[in-house]
Amino acid sequence: MEKRRISFDLLVFDTLDELSQGEKDLMQIAIEARKNAYAPYSQFMVGAAVLLANGEIVIGSNQENASFPSGLCAERVAVFQAGAKYPNVAIDSIAISVSSKTHKVDRPAAPCGNCRQAIAEYEQKQNTPITILMMGVSGKIFKCESLEDILPLAFGNSYL
């Protein structure tokens, strides 16, 4: 038997001002996208902004549905929209901002498992990493250099 450790480096910023101007702008767009969330059941709003290699930015917000699990997370709304609108353009980065109507969110929330798998598909397809920025309403901002960081051993088409 062999025991292996899987780990990654996470960049942690205290404020938006520590990000590059481009990253700060992308996060501001994610914050604005969060306002479009339809979250009457969870009261948890998520906004995502996807920066493409051609400079275009595509947004998404979570869209809930009374018939669980028919809703869709902000990250997948944005990534799938980018894939539909710009099918051959690589995704450079994704900014994710979260808030709640019931409590103060003072830390980042990482994409759920379904979103991680969906983003992994695009990262594998384009064969380049997708940077992920995450933040709550306040508190630290997390940055991962690749989706692979937060989904090691991802399932992909090489298994099929």
The catalytic residue among 23, 64, 75, 148 is 75
Tokens found for residue 7 = 């780990």
Q: Let me know if 82 is exposed, middle or buried by CB neighbors in 10 A (0-12, 13-18, 19+).
A: buried
Catalytic-residue membership of 75: yes
Distance CA(8)–CA(96), nearest Å, equals 19
CA dist., res. 42 & res. 111, Å (int): 16
For residue 62, report the phi and psi dihedrals to the nearest 5 degrees.
-70, 145
Count, in order, helices (H) and strands (E) of the chain.
4, 6
- List residues with catalytic annotation: 75
